[in-house]
Every structure is written in C-alpha cells, then in structure tokens.
Amino acid sequence: MAFERILAIDTSGPAAGVALFARDGWWVQTWQGLGGRGEQLTGVIDRALAEAGFRGQDLDGIAVAAGPGSYTGLRVGLAVAKTLAWAWQRPLAGVDTLAAMALGALWAAPVVVAAIDARHGEVFGGVYGRGQEAPVEAWWGPRAAPVEELARALGEVADRRGLERAAAAGDGCLAHRDALVRLSPVEYVWVPEQESRIVQVVSVGILGRLQLETGRHDDPAALDARYLKATEAERRWLQKS
C-alpha cells in the first residue's frame, strides 16, 4: 500500500501543530497554546482536509507525536488521533517526539541533542544522528534525566564519533543553554524554537509514514503516551501509598 496522504498531529509541547501530506507537498499550521481543549485541533484538521479536497476516509494513515512532552497536550493529541483512526478506519502510528525534533534539526549538524524541559533541573532528552536504515536514530536515550547527564552524554557521543558540532533543538536546550555549553565542548547550532515547531510536526508525519510503510501500526485502543517519568500527581499518590 502506498502511503501518500498522511495526517500528522503534534501537541506534545506549548505549541500545537497539524501537517497534511499529499502529492503536492505539505499543508502545515502551528499555533501557540492548546490547553485542555481539542476543539481547535479538530477545527484545524477539518480545514486542512477541506483545503486539500478530500475526506478523512481518503487518508492513508495518521501519525501522532506520542511523547515525551506535556501531560495535558499529549492526552489531547492522542485522544483526537486515536478517535479519528478508529472512526475513519485508518492505520495509526505513534511517533517519538524527540526523534521528530531531532530529524528536523539534522540539517544543522551531524549530531543533535533534543530536549524538552521537564522542570526541576531535568529534561526529557536524547542524542540523535542519522541511521543506516532510518532517517534518524537515537545514539543515547531518550530518557528523563538531569540536564548535566544529557550534556555529558552528548560530549561522550561527540568524542567517540569525532564530531565537533552539534545542533540543539527544543525548549529544554534553550532553558539549560549555559549547562550544555559548559559541560559539552562542542560548537552548538541553536535551532530557533519557531522554526523547530514547524519542522517538528512535518517530521512526525515523515517518521509516521515510514513506520506505516514498514508495517509498524499502532492499535488505537492500546497506544498510550510515552511520558518517560511519572507525573507529579502519580508521584504524590505513590508517596501517600
């Protein structure tokens, strides 16, 4: 089956995005702030389909950023993607958010440190490069870790592979810029956040399409968010228990 029409959804961060891939290229819209509401997301999807001139049932598949990321944002995006996949009977692919972030930054350097700020000095992060059988692969992580651990991992990867330049993508890199520079002796290319969010949702679609083409479909009933660590509410409940 040819996967020529892919709907991509990314609500993993403070900005949300929808991308629709068809033969003529990508239709993309991003906007700041999703909150706990899915109405705006479904409205953007409806407009994308209308402007492309086809229905949801005409899609070849749906890709969604499955995490890590914002607890509320991931829940909204996954709920919409899973509902549409079930209603339209379309195959679904859950995509790693950090891998999509890294893919969108590989133009800048051969190694990418991708990070989402997890607060309290921690990030959801990973170190990525081009794979032999995939457009991007994890060389370290992804995991929830102190930013110092991520910085040291980047330094070790760069030293082992003889790399002197790294791209930094995501609000976790921008929030902990000083620590990364201090602990990883590489030349950084800092990917602008606005540019990153546009490319990121397209990358969700690219990676989702690849997963679907290789037969890796997710069951809408079973696909869940990849948080990488317990939420604050879960930690408090465990402490009480």
Identify the CA nearest to 114 among candidates 228, 236, 25, 231: 228
- The model's confidence at residue 2, banded by pLDDT at 50, 70 and 90, is confident
Distances (CA, A) of 91 to 10, 35, 134, 188, 227: 17, 27, 20, 38, 23
Q: With respect to residue 77, please indicate whether it lies within any of the assigned structural domains.
A: yes
* Six-digit token string for 29: 């819209």
- What are the start-end ranges of the H helices in 90-231? 97-103, 147-161, 171-175, 177-183, 193-213
Q: What is the pTM of this model?
A: 0.93
How confident is residue 229, by pLDDT bands cut at 50, 70 and 90?
Answer: confident
pLDDT, tens digit (0-9, with 9 covering 90-100), for 162-177? 999 999 999 999 999 9
Same domain, 168 and 118: yes
How far apart CA 172 and CA 32 sit, in angstroms, is 17
User: Residue 80's domain is classified under what CATH number?
Assistant: 3.30.420.40
The first and second tokens of residue 190, run together, are 């800092």
Does residue 166 share a domain with residue 84? no
3-class DSSP state of 63: strand
pLDDT for 22-62, tens place per residue? 877 899 999 887 655 678 899 999 999 999 999 999 999 99
- Those residues whose C-beta lies under 8 Å from the C-beta of residue 94, and which sit 6 or more positions away, are 63, 64, 65, 66, 78, 218, 223, 226
Total domains present in the chain:
2
Based on the fold, state whether residues 149 and 212 are members of the same structural domain: no
C-alpha 66/C-alpha 98 separation (Å) is 10
Q: Is the model more confident about 195 or about 238?
A: 195
**What count of residues does the chain have?**
241
Locate 5 and state its tokens: 């029409």
Residue 85 is assigned to a structural domain of this protein = yes
Please return the burial class of 130, using the count of CB atoms within 10 Å of its CB with bins 0-12, 13-18 and 19+.
middle
Handedness of CA 103, 189, 69, 179 (dihedral sign): positive
> Residue 84 falls within a domain, yes or no?
yes
- CA-based max dimension of the chain: 55
Quick: pLDDT tens for 73-110: 999 999 999 999 999 999 999 999 999 999 999 999 99
Indicate if 93 and 204 belong to the same structural domain: yes
pLDDT at residue 38 in the model: 79
One domain for residues 55 and 28: yes
Host domain of residue 152: 105-190
Per-residue pLDDT for 215 more than 90?
yes
Residues 154 and 44 in one domain: no
Percent of the chain predicted with pLDDT > 70? 93
Residues 15 and 90 grouped into a single domain: yes
Q: How confident is the model at residue 234 (pLDDT cuts 50, 70, 90)?
A: very low
CA–CA separation, 15 and 36 (whole Å): 13
Mean pLDDT of the chain: 91
Structural domain includes residue 1: no
Residue 198: its H or E element: helix 193-213
Q: Is 64 a domain residue?
A: yes
Mean pLDDT across 216-231: 90
Of 2-6, 148-152, 213-217, the least confident? 2-6
Same domain, 165 and 207: no
Residue 81: DSSP 8-state: H
Residue 128 shares a structural domain with residue 159: yes
At 169 the pLDDT is 95
Coil, helix or strand at residue 112: strand
Flag whether pLDDT at 111 surpasses 90: yes
